[in-house]
Amino acid sequence: MAAPSNLRPVTGSIPTGPGVYRFKDANGRVIYVGKAKNLRSRLSSYFAEPAALHPRTRSMVQAAADLDWTIVATEVEALALEYSWIKEFDPRFNVKYRDDKSYPFLAMTMADDYPRALVMRGQRRKGTRYFGPFSHAWAIRDTLDQLLRVFPVRTCSNGVFRTAKQTGRPCLLGYIDKCSAPCVDRVSAQEHREIADDLCTFMTGRTAPFIRARELQMEAAASDLDYERAARLRDDVRALTRAMERNTVVLAPGTDADVIAIHDDELEAAVQVFFVRDGRIRGRRGWVTEKVEDVDRAGLVSHFVQQVYGAADASDVPRDVLVQVMPRDASALTEWLTDLRGSSVTLRHPQRGDKAALLDTVAANAAETLMQHRLRRSSDLTSRSAALQDLQDQLGLSEPPLRIECIDISNLQGTSVVGSLVVFEDGLPKKSDYRRFSIKGNAATDDLSSVRDVVRRRFARAQAEAEAVDSQPEEGTNTAPGADSIQTSARPSAFSYRPGLLVVDGGQPQAAAAQQVMDELEIEGVAVVGLAKRLEEVWPAGVADPLILPRGSEALYLLQRVRDEAHRFAIAYHRQRRSRAMTTSALDDVAGLGPVRRAALLKHFGSVAKIRKASLDQIEEVPGVGPAGAAALHLALHPQGEATPTTTASAINTATGEIMDS
C-alpha cells in the first residue's frame, strides 16, 4: 500500500531551511516527529518508491494521514523543538528510551526551606538535586550514613520535622550528632542550607578541599592538646575517605564525563551510561529499548542525548560526553548541551587512552545487557508458548512448530563452503541435534545450490534411516547367509525427527530452493520459510509477497534467535575450515610425506622457509625422513637444477637414485 495521495506536498512548497516536521494519523494523533537541516530534502525522501523504503519507515508513512512542519532559524532550535514535541506527543514511531528498572538516586530537596537528603526513584522533581544513580538503595543509605558525620543535614520527613519543632525535642539523629537539628534551632536555616550545599559539592566530586580542611583542623586540635576534637575530626576524615572509596577511580582527578555506549540489533538496542565525576564512577544506568524507527547507531546516540539531557538540570550535564560514534548532528548537539549547562560541553569519541578503554568497558556492558535481556526473554515459558502459537497463526500451520530447524550457508568468496543445521525444540536450542555440512563440487558454486545440497542430505538421510528400519527382519526371523542387512541402533538419530518448520537464512530464492528439494523427495507436512536478515521479512515458500510480522512479536523474536544461532554455528565451522586450509604448505604436495613426517620437519626446523635453506644432510637428520624422503623433499622445494650451498648435484642424484631403486 502506497502513501495517501493527499499526504505528499508539492516539492516546491517545502522550505529548504532547518525545521521540525510531524506525521499524524487519521485521528489527528502525532505518530512521528523529526528534525532536518533541509526540510525539502528530508521530507522528499519519505515519498520515494515504497519498495525502496525501510519497512519501518514504510509502515509509518502508510499509517500517516497528514503532515505539517515548522521552520526555525537554526539546527539547534530544531533540536530543542523536536525534543519538546516528542516529550509532549509521545509519538509511537519515535525511538523512546525507557529504563527497564527504576534506579535509586541520592536526592537533596534544595527547594525546601530546610533541604532534606533522601533516597528517591522515578520521575525527577523540580528544585531537587540528584546524585547517582546507584545500583542499590542500600548503597545510598550506607554512603549517606558515612557522610552525615561530616554533613549533618536533615533526613526526616516533613511530619517528623513539624512534630520536633512543636515539641522542641529533636529526633534520634539529632541526639547522636548525625543531624544539625534545625527543627529545634541548633542551627539557622541559612547555616543548614550551607551544610546541604557542602554535601552537594562533595557528591559532585569536589572532595579534596573537605578532606584537606579537616586534616588541618585535626592537626591544629592536636597541637592545642584537644585530643577529643582531633579524634572526632580523624573519624570524619575516615568517613569521607570510605565514602569516596566506594567509587572506582578510572580517569584523572577533575574529570567530569558521561560515557555512553550502545549495542543494538535489528529490533532492539541496549544503552549503558557510566557517570564519572572527579575521575570516579559515581553511578551507572542501563536499559533496553525497541528500535521503532529506521535508525543506525549514530542516530541512536543523537536520540539518547536529546531525551536524557533534555529533562536534566544544568548540574547534571557534564563537561564531557563520550560516545561510541559521533552523531551526524554533533555540532548542533554540542551547542544545545552547552546552552543547557551554561558552560562549554564537549561531545567526542575518544580513540585511544584511558577514556577509550573505559568506553570499551561500557560497550561490553551494553552487549551484556542485551544478551541478558534476550536470555530472560527466551527462558520465559509463557513467551516461548506465545511465540509458537503466534507462528502457527501467522504461517497458517495445523499445529505449533514444536521442532524448528534452520539452515545457513557460510563461505568466503566461494571457498570453504559450509552449511549448518540448528534445531530448536519448544523454543529452546537442542545442541545435541546440531549438524555441520561440508559442501563441495557443483553444490558449492552458488548459495542456492548449497541450500539444495544441505536440504537434500538432511532429508535423504532421514528417508534412508526410515527405509533401513522398515527393512529390518522381525525378531526371530532368519536371514539368509550373505544377505545384505542394514544395522540400525535402537535409538533413532536426530535426522529421524521431522521439523514442523524449516527456516532458511535468506529470502524468497532460498526458500524456493529448499522447497524444490522437499518436493523432489516427496516430503510433506514441513513448512518452509526464508528469513531475510536485512529487512527481517518472512518469505513462505511458494508465496509471492513476504510476511511482515509485527514488531516486537514473540514469533519474530524466536525466528531471529533461530536464524542467528544457525549463522553463529556456520561461521564457527567456516572459520575452522578456513584456518585448516591456510595451514597447508608446500610440504603437503610432497609424495610420501605424511602428516607425521611433516609435523616432525616443522618441529625440527620451525618453518618451511628454513627447511628450504637446509641441506640434504640436515634434512636426513630429522627422525623418520631418511635419504629418499630428504631428496624428494629437496627437489619439491627447489626449482630444477637449483641447489643449496651445502648441497651438491651429485648428492641429489645419488639420493634420487636411491628413490628410483626403492
- Alpha-carbon distance 346 to 335, whole Å? 9
In a domain, residue 194? The reply is no
Q: Which residues of 396-462 form beta strands (DSSP E)?
A: 403-412, 415-425, 428-429, 435-438
Q: Residue ranges of the alpha helices (H) in 177-253?
A: 189-203, 208-223, 227-245
Question: Could you give the angle at the alpha carbon of 359 between the alpha carbons of 139 and 293, nearest 5°?
Answer: 95
Model confidence at 383, in pLDDT bands (50, 70, 90)?
confident
604 shares a domain with 502: no
Mean pLDDT of 462-473: 67
Query: 205 pLDDT band (50/70/90 cuts)?
Result: low
30-39, 472-481, 638-647, 651-660 — which is least confidently predicted? 651-660
- 103 pLDDT tier (thresholds 50, 70, 90): low
Residues 620 and 573 in one domain: no
Q: What mean pLDDT comes out for the span 58-64?
A: 82
Which of 322, 357, 376 represents a domain boundary (last residue)?
Answer: 376
The region of weakest confidence among 3-12, 439-448, 449-458 is 3-12
Instruction: List, in sequence order, every beta strand (DSSP E) within 533-646.
Output: 537-540
Residues 343 and 404 reside in one and the same domain: no
- Residues 619, 630 contacting (CB under 8 angstroms): yes
**pLDDT of 86 over the 50 cut:** yes
Q: How confident is the model at residue 4 (pLDDT cuts 50, 70, 90)?
A: low
Query: In the beta sheet, which residues pair with residue 436?
Result: 420
Give whichever of 151-160, 293-302, 307-316, 464-473 has the largest mean pLDDT. 151-160
CATH of the domain at 520: 3.30.420.340
Residue 260: CA atoms inside 13 Å, Cβ hemisphere, count? Answer: 25
The CATH number of residue 599's host domain is 1.10.150
* CATH code assigned at 17: 3.40.1440.10
Confidence band, pLDDT 50/70/90 cuts, at residue 661: very low
Per DSSP, the residues of 132-179 read: ---S-HHHHHHHHHHHTTTS--B-S-HHHHHHHHHHT---HHHHTTSS
Domain assignment of residue 131, yes or no: no
**Given pLDDT bands bounded at 50, 70 and 90, which one contains residue 533?**
low
- In this structure, the answer to whether residues 551 and 657 fall within a common structural domain is no
Single out the residue of 217, 197, 194 nearest to residue 206, CA to CA: 197
358, 436: one domain: no
- Of 353, 366, 352, 360, the closest CA to residue 273 belongs to 366
pLDDT of the residue at 487 = 46
Residues in the chain: 662
CB of 355 within 8 A of CB of 254? no
Identify whether 187 is part of a domain.
no
C-alpha–C-alpha distance, residues 658 and 628, integer Å:
6
Give the pLDDT of residue 502.
92
Q: What percent of the chain has pLDDT over 90?
A: 3
Q: What are phi and psi of 527, to 5 degrees?
A: -75, 140
Q: Confidence band (pLDDT; 50, 70, 90) for 21?
A: very high
**What is the pLDDT at residue 479?**
44
pLDDT of 379 reads: 63
Pair (302, 444) in one structural domain: no
- Look at residue 119 and tell me if it is in a domain: no
**Set of cell numbers at residue 552:** 516486537
Binning pLDDT at 50, 70 and 90, where does residue 317 land?
Answer: confident
Domain-located, residue 248: no
Backbone phi, then psi, for 347, in 5-degree steps? -110, 115
Asked if 518 and 443 sit in the same domain, the reply is yes
What number is the average pLDDT over the span 433-439? 85
The amino acid at residue 343 is S
Tell me: do 269 and 404 sit in the same domain. no
Do 556 and 616 lie in one domain? The reply is: no
**Distance (Å, rounded) from C-alpha 82 to C-alpha 87?**
9
Show which of 321, 349, 376 is a domain's final residue.
376
Q: Are residues 632 and 537 located together in one domain of the fold?
A: no
Higher pLDDT, 133 or 652: 133
Report which of residues 506 and 51 the model is more confident about.
506
The Cα-based distances of 175 to 64, 113, 159, 526, 647 in angstroms read: 65, 22, 18, 77, 99
Indicate whether 221 belongs to any domain.
Answer: no
Q: Residue 234 — very low, low, confident or very high, per pLDDT cuts 50/70/90?
A: confident
CB 411 within 8 A of CB 574: yes
pLDDT digits (tens, 9 = 90+) for 490-530: 455 666 778 889 998 888 888 889 899 888 888 888 889 88
pLDDT range class, residue 243, cuts 50, 70, 90 = low
| Confidence check: pLDDT of 651 > 50 | no
Quick check: is 602 in a domain?
yes
Mean pLDDT score across all residues of the chain: 78
What residues pair up with 321 in beta bridges, in sequence order?
258, 347
Residues 413 and 537 in one domain: yes
**Number of domains comprising the chain:** 4
Q: Where residue 477 falls among pLDDT bands split at 50, 70, 90? A: very low
d(CA 18, CA 77): 9
264 and 401 housed in the same domain = no
Residue 594 lies in a domain: yes
Domain end point (choices 580, 599, 619): 580
How far apart, in Å, are the Cα atoms of 443 and each of 9, 516, 524, 571, 573? 52, 15, 24, 18, 17
- Identify the pLDDT of residue 476: 46
Boundaries of domain holding 434: 385-468+495-580
CATH code of the domain containing 329: 3.30.420
Residue of 7 and 179 predicted with greater confidence:
179
